[in-house]
Amino acid sequence: MGKLVICDHPLIQHKLTFIRDVRTNTKDFREHVDEVATLMAYEITRDIPLETITVQTPVTETESKVISGRMLGLIPILRAGLGMLEGVLKLLPAAKVGHVGLFRDPDTLQPVEYYIKLPTDVQERELIVIDPMLATGGSAIAAITSLKKRGCTQIKMMNLIAAPEGVAAVQEAHPDVDIYVAALDDHLNEHGYIVPGLGDAGDRLYGTK
């Protein structure tokens, strides 16, 4: 079973409160999401391996650590995932970015992939799938399935807020995927919104409502 990591650093929790607040305007919402994404990137990379190299300081030669040549890939799910992308790239500027676009078929209610563009060496990379809201888990599961079909094996999921239903669904479908969230909320309502949540992440990021 993949682990669920709640990134409960005080700075993340503080900023998340402003993100939740209905009075927060689009500009401030986007800035807070960007900042939380950077802070979460710090947590999600906690276990990436280091190697020791020799470096010459102004005083002496010494051994010191650098991130070993591990290659990372960031996979925002369109469109709300884009709101967290730049924040993660601030800490991981060498990561390559792939995009996955999904919409929900109104008849079957199943996610349908309408766009995918990935780095050519995606299967060699450790991937972080990014989506602010993990609600039913449908999009996350479909995106991860799509990546696995293309040979990807090392995948983590990063969300601002998750519903227990979505976490359970992803853990069931993809037990090898660890999920990092800033908050685990209470439940999904009858409209598929996370409660208490933050409303529609895409609309709040881009001012479309």
Interface with ligand URA (CB under 6 A): 80, 133, 135, 192-194, 197, 200-202
Q: Would you say 68 or 208 has its CB closer to ligand URA?
A: 208
Is residue 17 flagged as an active site residue? no
Q: Which residues have C-beta within 8 Å of that of residue 105, sequence separation ≥ 6?
A: 111, 112
Active site residue 105: no
Q: Is 81 annotated to bind ligand?
A: no
Q: Are 177 and 144 in contact (CB under 8 A)?
A: yes
Cβ 108 to ligand URA shortest distance, Å: 18
Q: Considering the candidates 24, 26, 70, 200, report the single residue annotated as catalytic.
A: 200
DSSP per residue, 78-125? ETTTHHHHHHHHHH-TT-EE-EEEEEE-TTT--EEEEEEE--TTGGGS
* Residue 23 annotated as lining a ligand binding site: no
- The nearest distance, CB 102 to ligand URA, in angstroms, is 12
User: Smallest distance, Å, CB 83 to ligand URA?
Assistant: 10
Taking the least distance from each CB to ligand URA, the nearer of 83 and 87 is: 83
Q: Is 151 annotated as a binding residue?
A: no
Task: Tell me: is residue 135 an annotated ligand-binding position.
Answer: yes
Q: Which is nearer to ligand URA, 159 or 171 (CB)?
A: 159
The verdict on whether residue 93 carries a ligand-binding annotation is no
Structure tokens that stand for 120 in this block: 């050519």
Question: Cα separations (Å) of 7 from 10, 34, 41, 144?
Answer: 9, 15, 10, 21
Q: What letter represents residue 102's amino acid?
A: L
Q: What's the min distance (Å) between Cβ of 32 and ligand URA? A: 15
Q: How far apart are CA 70 and CA 81, in angstroms?
A: 23
Q: Catalytic residue among 54, 57, 108, 120, which? A: 108
Nearest to 74 by CA among 180, 170, 182: 180
How many whole angstroms from its chain centre is CA 202?
14
Residues recorded for the chain: 209
For residues 27 and 76, the answer to whether their CB atoms sit within 8 Å is: no
Q: What is d(CA 175, CA 17) in angstroms, rounded to the nearest whole number?
A: 30
**Residue 108 bears catalytic tag:** yes
Identify whether 120 is a catalytic site residue.
no
Q: Which residues are catalytic?
A: 104, 108, 200, 203
Binding residues for 5-phospho-alpha-D-ribose 1-diphosphate: 79, 104, 131-139, 200
Binding residues for uracil: 194, 199-201
Binding residues: 79, 104, 131-139, 194, 199-201
